[in-house]
Chain A
Amino acid sequence: MSVSFTLVLGGALILVLLTVILWSTRNKQKKPVPRHVPMVTREEFAEELATPVTFPPQPAAKPDMPVIPWNYGKDRMTLMVRDPNWLFAYWEISATKQQEFSNNFGHDAWNNSRSVLRVYDVTGVESFNGSNANDFTDISINDYVDSRHIDMERPNSTFCVDLGRLFPDGTFITLLRSNIVQTPSIAVSNLLDEEWMWIEGIYRTLTRLHMGSSPMVTEEIGRGMGLIPLGISSPGLRNRKN
């Protein structure tokens, strides 16, 4: 009797244990797995930044962060100007486009070539057709990145970027072409207006007072602006101490 009781108890214990173990495994399986391909890294990074670090007591639970797609199933490449020296490009390339490339250049073509950003200087070029640029710079990139900050250091110049595949023999095949952008100037214009001849004294005043050794008038102003973020950013000021 007591043996069978022990057996029953033992069986029950094992059952309970099993349930617990199985349950926890099941829960583990339910843990979200990353649904995206590595391209999403940038977005994850942005969410990491979102951890509220501002105030000690945590506010009531917030609704989930809205989920938006990373890719939109469209072949596209956009070029933007960050400042006189830097450009920024982002792109999206569909599976169809990759397939098309393989169909045209062979099955191994993708693996035999590497991803390259070709940055064309098209300053003064009337109508850019891919072969009439002043010059170009190639930037090797990983297959999985889909944006890039590009340091050109060419103010007052016009650019266009291709994303393409470069073969060992130097052949470059364009997959995507960007819009055309122009970087701003960092100095006073050399173009003079005869009817409105510039007054040197005014420019000398400005140089003497603020340009200093730097050609950038904005450096001084920029610092002031950046340090006092006003308006909407004002709540952030709370956390700064003198």
Chain B
Amino acid sequence: MGKGYLCFVLHAHLPFVRHPEHEHFLEERWLYEAITETYVPLIDAFDELVEENIPFRVTISLSPPLMTMLTDGLLQERYLKHLDKSIKLAEKETARTKDTVFYPTALMYRDRLYRIRYLFAEKYHRNIIYAFKKLQDYGRLEVITCAGTHGFLPLLINHPEAVRAQIGVAVDLYAKYFGHKPPGIWLPECAYTYGIDNLLKEFEIKYFFTDTHGVLFASHRPKYGIYAPIFCPTGVAVFGRDIESSKQVWSSNEGYPGDLDYREYYRDIGHDLPYDYIEPYIHPDGIRVNTGIKYFRVTGKDCEKQPYCRENALRKTDIHAGNFLFNREHQIAHLNSLMDREPIIVAPYDAELFGHWWFEGPDWLKQVLRKVHYDFPNIETATPQDYLKKYPCNQVATPCPSTWGNNGYNEVWLCRENDWVYRHLHIIADKMTELVENNSSANGLKQRALNQAARELLLAQSSDWAFIMYTGTMVEYAIRRTKQHVQNFLRLYEQIKSKNIDEGMLNDLEYKNNIFPDININYYKKITGQVFSATG
């Protein structure tokens, strides 16, 4: 029986939510929750496999805002404070739940948080990026990049300079931390349109991913469907998302995370326990938030939630890991009967799915990787680079514009709730190019102002803001962030043009919005001609 390759891709991203001006910023908790629940548990799982000498290959993209926040001293300090508070709460919970059915779970949380503290503070000296780098050096992870601030590139492409800058600053930041250029990129929201690959090629990026129909609807029709990469006419490789493996993990109905024994996400003691008790551990303004301590299992719809049992849940991860691989084995056998080469199955997920939303996700992934090695000789985990090394010759076809958002195209990021952002984003991108073209020999204060203008532009472009406006929750924050960065940009623009730079304001912005300290604004230089000519 022939072999096949399984390509796991984890996309790790959070928008830049660093707020030095305020100690308890609600949105900063997104980062803390993700460190505790996703990033550290994933690293722990991978480390365990390394210690067991199990070979595995997983691709992970770290978005530049996330990398910046994970290496930021202020946020590291605040995270530790947050974690210590969580530990205090977990300790308190072991006393409160003593002699109840919840006690074992309370102990589990307490021990788990102590371990996370050890890993974060002592083993990795607060630097999670280092942990990822080490796993890459061990030949287990292939770390790739993502666009600068997770800009939604298909809706920015009419200003190709802005897209080039999104890619350029990301490549530079990656190189700073990993010592070489990123081999591949995760396009934000898996969103591709004509012309993007031209800009990727400029930075020697070898591959990216699209949703299933990005490759399936490519032209000419791809020989192997989504089970082998295609090359864009520019030579950049494209890997299409597999439907089956995605659905088993993603689907809210049929997916594993909905299993009755897994932990219920919505029953958090931050919302459930009496206010007086929980008050020190929620937001100082009295806003109830998730604490991460949850005692119930999914149980079922419209019935009383039952207590969580860790052993049962872990047993399920084992069963589900086996089931997942059993299905892949069949899929591969079927594909091998049709194909004249070994297929690759691309399974991309949001990293935060694992641990944060699906509490047992990292355990499931660990079990899958362990089982592949011991029990499934016909499946091998591989990264896109591994596969391209093995099969360097691939069909040339133009991918179909697509995203992994609702209905597969751009409607999530271009709807009535958020369409107004583009009239601002486009014109400030235009103005940035104008500034760079007219100030090619700037230095000192002016150079600083130009750099900060570019940072503000980039931050305004995060796809997260449009996404939040679409979902209808925390909308005010997203609108505020968009408007704030546009306003900051416009002020800097006017000051640079009128040669009257307000150094106080500039200092303040540099301090607050300190992403991309070494930004190269030459990426905004005018691109002459079109990156892609849409004449059909």
What is the interface of chain A, defined by CB distance below 8 A to chain B?
Answer: 42-43, 46-47, 49-52, 54-55, 57-60, 62, 65-70, 72, 74, 76, 78, 80-84, 86, 88, 90, 92, 122-128, 147, 149, 157-158, 179-182, 184-193, 195-199, 201-203, 205-206, 209-210, 216-242
Query: Which residue in chain A gives the minimum CB-CB distance to B29?
Result: A235
What chain B residues lie within 8 Å of A86 (beta carbons)? 411
A123–B302 Cα gap in the complex (Å)? 52
The answer on a CB contact under 8 Å between A49 and B211 is no
Other-chain residue from B27, B213, B490 in contact with A217 (beta carbon distance below 8 A) = B213
A188 touches B419 (CB 8 A): no
Nearest CB of A to B391, in Å: 13
Within 8 A of A (CB), among B413-448: 414-417, 419-420, 422-424, 426-427
A184 and B402 contact, CB distance less than 8 A:
yes
Residues of B within 8 A of A219 (CB): 407-408
| List of A residues within 8 angstroms of B401 by Cβ | 81, 182, 184
Does B352 make an interface contact (CB < 8 A)? yes
**Which of A158, A219, A242 has the most B CB atoms < 10 Å from its CB?**
A242
Residues of B within 8 A of A (CB): 13-15, 26-27, 29-30, 33-34, 154-155, 158, 193-194, 211-213, 216-227, 241, 243-244, 246-247, 250-252, 255, 264-266, 268, 271, 283, 285-290, 301-302, 334-335, 337-339, 350-353, 356-357, 395, 397, 400-402, 404-412, 414-417, 419-420, 422-424, 426-427, 464, 467-469, 471-476, 479-480, 483-484, 486-487, 490, 534-536
Complex Cα spacing A160 to B367, Å: 52
Tell whether, in the assembled complex, residue A233 and residue B219 are in contact, meaning their CB atoms are under 8 Å apart: no
Q: Which 6 A-B pairs have the closest CB atoms?
A: A218-B408, A236-B473, A83-B409, A50-B476, A189-B219, A226-B406
**In the bound complex, CA of A193 to CA of B423 (Å):** 41
Please tell me which one of the listed residues A179, A182, A222, A237 contacts residue B406 in the complex, with CB atoms under 8 A apart: A222
Q: Which residues of B contact A51 (CB under 8 A)?
A: 476
The residue on A at minimum CB distance from B15 is A232
CA distance in complex: A235, B37 (Å): 14
- Report chain B residues within 8 Å CB of A238: 266, 268, 271, 289-290
CB distance from A145 to the nearest CB of B (A): 12
* Chain A residues, Cβ within 8 Å of B475: 49-50
Instruction: State whether A158 touches B534 (Cβ < 8 A).
Output: yes
**CA of A149 to CA of B422 in the docked complex: distance in angstroms?**
13
Contacts A59-B285, A158-B534, A189-B220 hold; do A235 and B474 have CB atoms under 8 A apart? yes
Minimal Cβ-Cβ distance residue in B for A187: B217
Contact A124 B535 (CB under 8 A): yes
Given contacts A81-B193, A221-B243, contact A184 B217 (CB under 8 A): yes
Interchain nearest-CB distance for B263 vs A (Å): 13
In the complex, which of the residues A55, A220, A222, A235 contacts B405, with contact meaning CB atoms closer than 8 Å?
Answer: A222
CB nearest to B17 among chain A residues: A232
How many residue pairs link A and B with beta carbons under 8 A? The number is 285
- Report yes or no: A181 in contact with B534, Cβ–Cβ below 8 A: yes
Select one of B33, B34, B247, B535 contacting A122, CB under 8 A: B535
29 contacts between A and B (CB under 8 A): A49-B479, A54-B474, A57-B287, A67-B483, A82-B410, A90-B422, A180-B534, A188-B217, A188-B221, A190-B221, A193-B397, A196-B223, A198-B222, A199-B224, A201-B338, A206-B243, A218-B407, A220-B247, A221-B247, A225-B404, A225-B406, A228-B357, A231-B14, A232-B464, A233-B468, A235-B26, A236-B471, A239-B473, A240-B266
What residue in chain A is nearest B252 (Cβ atoms)? A227
Q: Among the listed B15, B250, B301, which residue makes an inter-chain contact with A224, where contact means beta carbons less than 8 Å apart?
A: B250
The answer for the CA separation of A201 and B223 in the assembled complex, in Å, is 10
C-alpha gap A55/B211 in the complex (Å): 35
Q: B37: nearest residue on chain A (CB-CB)?
A: A234
A191 to B221, CA, bound (A): 6
Q: Is the CB of B357 within 8 A of A127?
A: no
In the complex, are the beta carbons of B534 and A49 less than 8 A apart? no
Q: Are A226 and B219 in contact (CB under 8 A)?
A: no
User: Closest residue of chain B to A81, judged by CB?
Assistant: B410
Min CB distance A66 to B, Å, is: 4
- Complex contacts, B402 vs chain A, CB 8 Å: 184, 218
Residues of chain B lying within 8 A (CB to CB) of residue A240? 266
Q: Which residues of B contact A81 (CB under 8 A)?
A: 154, 193, 401, 409-410
Taking a contact as CB atoms under 8 Å apart, the answer to whether B408 and A68 are in contact is no
Is B223 within 8 A of A193, CB to CB?
yes
Closest A-chain residue to B254, C-beta based? A224
- Apart from A54-B474, A184-B402, A206-B243, list 20 A-B contacts with CB within 8 A: A49-B475, A66-B483, A67-B483, A68-B424, A80-B155, A81-B409, A86-B411, A122-B535, A184-B400, A196-B220, A209-B243, A217-B213, A218-B211, A221-B211, A221-B243, A225-B405, A233-B471, A234-B352, A235-B474, A236-B471
